[in-house]
Amino acid sequence: MKYLDEYRDPAAARAYAAAIRKITTKPWTIMEVCGGQTHAIVRFGIEDLLPEEINLVHGPGCPVCVTPVEIVDKAIAIAAMPDAIFCSFGDMLRVPGTEKDLLSVRAAGGDVRIVYSPLDAVEVARKNPGKQVVFFAVGFETTAPANAMAVHMAKTENLKNFSVLVSHVLVPPAMESILSSPQNKVRGFLAAGHVCTVMGTAAYAPIVQKYKVPVVVTGFEPLDILQGLYMCIRQLEEGRAEVENQYSRAVREDGNLPAQELLGKVFRVIPRKWRGIGEISESGWGLTEAYAAFDAENRFDVAGASRAEPTECISGLVLLGQKKPAQCPAFGKTCTPEHPLGATMVSGEGACAAYYRYRKTEAA
Ligand code: SF4
């Protein structure tokens, strides 16, 4: 296939759904890890095509959603400094910290800029030598290479006024955390295709072996997701647990080796706190010693408050695949995208926001 529309062909989608119905004999709970896949599943009504035995649950793959409030508070404190220019992708500006968000800092006169690449932030630093320029480096393995490149360029150019506020998280440790929970119901995963374009598929082999769950690396269009589900269900029905690659048009087994080499230089694995879930050991990246001078947390003495999610919010259970958004009593009532109470409503890629946007209100 060549064009995007071909991956959304209704007749082909119905054919995949029929093939899934034909091979399904038992109930299976399958988790898609990525927020982009969640969005596509809800938007295109994929669950409605599936047999009732198949339960799709939505994983912690929305990077904006899982960025902890403490880090957002630190971003807000840095952005409010008089000599700072704070650069970020646009989706972080509305994420609420303890008292406000980055958008309100900008409304109050702070120099908060939306950029489309961390390299744009490096350029802002070059053009503003009298200002401290900070980039909000948030996301999974997918966004990390460009952020690593920005830090590496700043070091190479000896740019003294550029730093990054890092909140990078990693997919495999989150999957292990889900699988090791006593309440876990997930029997198979659709892994995020774009993460694997960078990291390859090898990282999932130990998970498959240890937990005996199929992992199918999957793309983001409706036919990708239906094919990924078919491959996952076929493994489950046949009693197999393997890593399979549905997204072969973009993903190689060894991934992007030059990107991985750069990541290994710039980042090291550290524990990270995930909003809605809590700390997961060895689940994130921080800067290595060689690049520590570009760490905004070292450069600025700013504190982040630690705030618990409101008690009515069940986003932790949603992120772990144990509940669906519409099972939350606050969904669509006290919690909306305009006034999010928890992690999975703060970004359009979050499961609660996707359900709200496409009006999927039934408690499945
Ligand atoms: S609807 Fe809001 S309060 Fe409920 S789980 Fe989702 S984010 Fe939390």
Q: What is the 3-state secondary structure (H, E, C) of 222-271?
A: HHHHHHHHHHHHHHHHHCCCCEEECCCCCCCCCCCHHHHHHHHHHEEEEE
Domains of the chain: 1-358 (3.40.50.11740)
* 189: phi then psi, degrees, rounded to nearest 5: -125, 145
| Whether residue 192 has its Cβ less than 6 Å from ligand 1 | no
* 75: phi then psi, degrees, rounded to nearest 5: -60, -45
Alpha carbon distances (Å) from 56 to 48, 170, 205, 216, 272: 11, 22, 22, 14, 26
> What is residue 360's predicted lDDT score, i.e. its pLDDT?
63
Grouping H, G, I as helix, E, B as strand and the rest as coil, residue 44 is coil
Q: CA–CA separation, 122 vs 210, rounded Å? A: 42
Ligand 1 centroid distance, CA of 154 (Å):
39
Angle between helices 35-43 and 222-238 (to 10 degrees): 100
| Whether residue 266 has its Cβ less than 6 Å from ligand 1 | no
| Whether residue 214 has its Cβ less than 6 Å from ligand 1 | no
| Whether residue 341 has its Cβ less than 6 Å from ligand 1 | yes
| Whether residue 325 has its Cβ less than 6 Å from ligand 1 | yes
Give the position, in ligand 1's atom list, of the atom nearest the Cα of 317. 5
Grouping H, G, I as helix, E, B as strand and the rest as coil, residue 346 is coil
Q: CA–CA separation, 49 vs 187, rounded Å? A: 20
90: Cα separation from own chain's centroid: 15
| Whether residue 54 has its Cβ less than 6 Å from ligand 1 | no
Q: Which of 64, 69, 314, 333 to mutate to test the pocket of ligand 1 (most atoms within 8 A of CB)?
A: 314
Is beta strand 84-88 parallel, antiparallel or unpaired with respect to 28-34?
A: unpaired
| Whether residue 330 has its Cβ less than 6 Å from ligand 1 | yes
Give the position, in ligand 1's atom list, of the atom nearest the Cα of 342. 7
Ligand 1 centroid distance, CA of 299 (Å):
35
Give the position, in ligand 1's atom list, of the atom nearest the Cα of 345. 7
| Whether residue 318 has its Cβ less than 6 Å from ligand 1 | yes
Q: Which residues pair with 287 in a beta bridge?
A: 267
Ligand 1 centroid distance, CA of 200 (Å):
33
Q: Could you give the count of Cα atoms lying within 13 Å of 313 in the half-sphere of its Cβ?
A: 22
> What is residue 361's predicted lDDT score, i.e. its pLDDT?
61
| Whether residue 335 has its Cβ less than 6 Å from ligand 1 | yes
Predicted TM-score (pTM) of this structure: 0.91
Ligand 1 centroid distance, CA of 181 (Å):
21
Q: For the chain, which ranges sit under pLDDT 50?
A: 363-364
Asked if 55 and 212 touch (Cβ cutoff 8 Å), the reply is: no
> What is residue 4's predicted lDDT score, i.e. its pLDDT?
75
| Whether residue 346 has its Cβ less than 6 Å from ligand 1 | no
Strand ranges of the sheet holding 28-34, from the earlier edge strand across to the other edge: 54-61, 28-34, 188-192, 215-218, 243-245
> What is residue 347's predicted lDDT score, i.e. its pLDDT?
86
Strand ranges of the sheet holding 84-88, from the earlier edge strand across to the other edge: 111-114, 84-88, 132-139, 162-169, 278-287, 267-274
> What is residue 305's predicted lDDT score, i.e. its pLDDT?
60
Ligand 1 centroid distance, CA of 46 (Å):
22
Ligand 1 centroid distance, CA of 298 (Å):
33
Q: Which of 352, 355, 356 to mutate to test the pocket of ligand 1 (most atoms within 8 A of CB)?
A: 352
